[in-house]
Homo-oligomer: A and B are copies of this chain.
């Protein structure tokens, strides 16, 4: 009995001890283990829901009223002080921090007391048919003493008198039609080009190249009005005849004074003669003015495709017809360049586990006038998103990685603010930036989402769009509950109708230097109008009529589309900041490359073959890349999520893949564009070109007198593409493969 007692006591002690060991080992989790556990989990979906709920349409409306109340052109007090400080103070008080970056850059303005104009100059020296010097105010909200009259930035000043010539959109092909087909000599003429199709700066580059002495840019109703010319703003959102599109002519990006280096205190500034700026005077007019000149033109009637919607017979010129045959067109331009201080503002949310990884959300702040669409519709959205994020922080959320919000200055002049910061901070941003998410404007219409991105982000974009409630009640009633549903319906992919179309990234907004010099994966997005409507852009683009009235009355009553954009932007940010393993799809990148190669083969193959050139090396490299991408994906899926260094290794490789497509020597030697797969079309900044180096080498090759040199260039570009893709394959292979071995295999 005594022994039984002892045994009993011993059993009790052992049992208690065992239970204790179990509790001690499993139930009381050491700090570091719970930390490892927590670190191995994706973001809590609860926070995503809270973010969506927190984002209020009415707040965005209020923000927009504030941001677009007054004109805020780059370099102005309103933009560089009032709005800049408001953003800085808001972020400083609601986020982890905020910082201002200041640059001294070259901007351009019209002379307020001596405005630009166009006129007909008779042989006796009298001027008639003067264009409006001021864009007509149609309602009191546009009436502000700081409205800047229509002009094209960086035009040199000058007074040009010459024969007018109508050059359609001013594309290379348009000019070639005049000089080759019609054998016209354009030297000394004043070209009248309509806005649309290509970036206006390239219209002027073409005009210079073909000898024009000056250029007038105008908006033809064919490109900015659908339906009756009587139903224009303020009745509807179409451009009235008084509306005039401002805009830069700079074909590079960043401060023209300091290519590739930041315009900080220690900067070396180029002389103006060494900057790549327009050499001929240029100014824009509206169609009420343009009709005065175009209706009087002499010369042949234009081809059908060149006809606009003015009620006249379009003629190419040169010169005016009777009774104006002795008259010339006069272009009076007083636009001037001046150094100004511009500012970027950053807001910061520090990552919990990987503070040195940045998810960057960016939007520019400067507008040509009130900018209620471009850019303030997105600034208003960004501010609401930042408010919602600060609420999440208060509720205990903290992302795995850091989030950086950027308000860029002087985008309109040539992406200056973002380019200068990327130049100044590139050595810190380059190795750390996970992705850059740009919204230049929240909406240019309300038909569908429009998104451009590199292939690695497509699937994440789809997943995020599926989480955002459709802002259009009619669509919801039709069963399309999310942004994604309307997107895939209204803009299906050209290759697969079951997914939406994602465009390739051209230039035209602040993602450019992130993608093209740092190799940072990027998205640029907005809500847009129905592309079938064939308008060149949203009609009021860069005119004085871009006001809150336009947005809230004719485009987004209730601000639900803005809200959807804010939610999508936020959803993407959360995923990129919180996913343990980045949802970057390199297999899709490889498949996209396969498709691009096949397209290029279809397009150039026969011509290449005539010169004994094949794309075999590129195809082979794409094959290697596809194989590496599949292996990378499988490693990402199998990764031990509780091993932070393995997770980091996988993410580093995924993140750096886009860097592998960067050629530090520039595409075909152009240092502004270094992404070998995607870069803007060399003749149109807005459009993207696949394999831009090859496209540029092949462009108009048949008319180059030096055939040998050109075909060598083609061979070289093919070699660079093959090398770059193979190099990208190397970058996503298992890091041990470089040395031919691993302990694991």
Contacts and interface: CB of A to CB of B under 8 A. Distances in A.
A660 interface: yes
A24 interface: yes
A59 interface: no
Interface string A578-609: 00000000000000000000000000000000
A68 to B, nearest CB: 26
Interface stretch (A409-417, A422-430, A476-484): A422-430
Contact of A735 (B33, B432, B620, B743): B432
Nearest to A616: B266
Contacts of A738: 99, 346, 348, 358, 404, 425, 428-429
A353 B98 contact: no
A39 B648 CA distance: 15
B644 A644 contact: yes
Contacts of A348: 736, 738-742
B96 A736 contact: yes
A729 to B, nearest CB: 10
A54 interface: no
Nearest to A671: B665
Interface in A704-745: 715-716, 718-720, 722-723, 726-728, 730-731, 733, 735-744
A325 to B, nearest CB: 49
Nearest to A274: B712
A266 B427 contact: no
A182 interface: no
Contacts of A36: 32, 36
A494 interface: no
A742 B621 contact: no
Given A24-B23, A33-B33, A431 B262 contact: no
Nearest to A97: B741
Interface stretch (A14-22, A209-217, A224-232): A14-22
Nearest to A429: B738
Nearest to A739: B348
A30 B25 CA distance: 8
A427 B741 contact: no
A510 interface: no
B649 A356 contact: yes
Given A427-B660, A427-B727, A741-B350, A719 B649 contact: no
Interface string A349-374: 11001111010000000000000000
Q: Which of A14, A25, A349, A742 has the most CB of B within 10 A?
A: A25
Nearest to A648: B648
A347 interface: yes
Interface stretch (A73-81, A523-531, A651-659): A651-659
A719 B266 CA distance: 5
Interface string A465-495: 0000000000000000000000000000000
Contacts of A25: 24-25, 28, 30
Contacts of A14: 16
A13 interface: yes
Given A19-B17, A21-B20, A356 B653 contact: yes
Interface string A77-105: 00000000000000010011111000000
A727 to B, nearest CB: 5
A733 to B, nearest CB: 7
Nearest to A28: B25
A397 interface: no
A97 B268 CA distance: 50
A739 B261 contact: no
A432 B347 CA distance: 30
A338 interface: no
B350 A266 contact: no
A92 B12 CA distance: 58
Interface string A417-443: 000000011111101100000000000
Given A21-B28, A265-B617, A743 B16 contact: no
A138 interface: no
Contacts of A47: none
A568 B350 CA distance: 41
A742 B426 contact: no
Given A92-B740, A354-B649, A432-B735, 18 more contacts: A17-B23, A39-B645, A96-B743, A97-B739, A98-B740, A99-B740, A264-B723, A266-B617, A268-B718, A348-B741, A349-B739, A353-B645, A355-B649, A356-B653, A356-B735, A428-B731, A644-B645, A664-B664
24 contacts: A12-B12, A16-B17, A20-B23, A24-B25, A25-B25, A30-B33, A96-B742, A97-B736, A97-B742, A99-B738, A266-B617, A266-B620, A268-B719, A268-B720, A346-B738, A348-B739, A402-B735, A404-B739, A427-B660, A428-B735, A431-B659, A432-B735, A644-B645, A664-B664
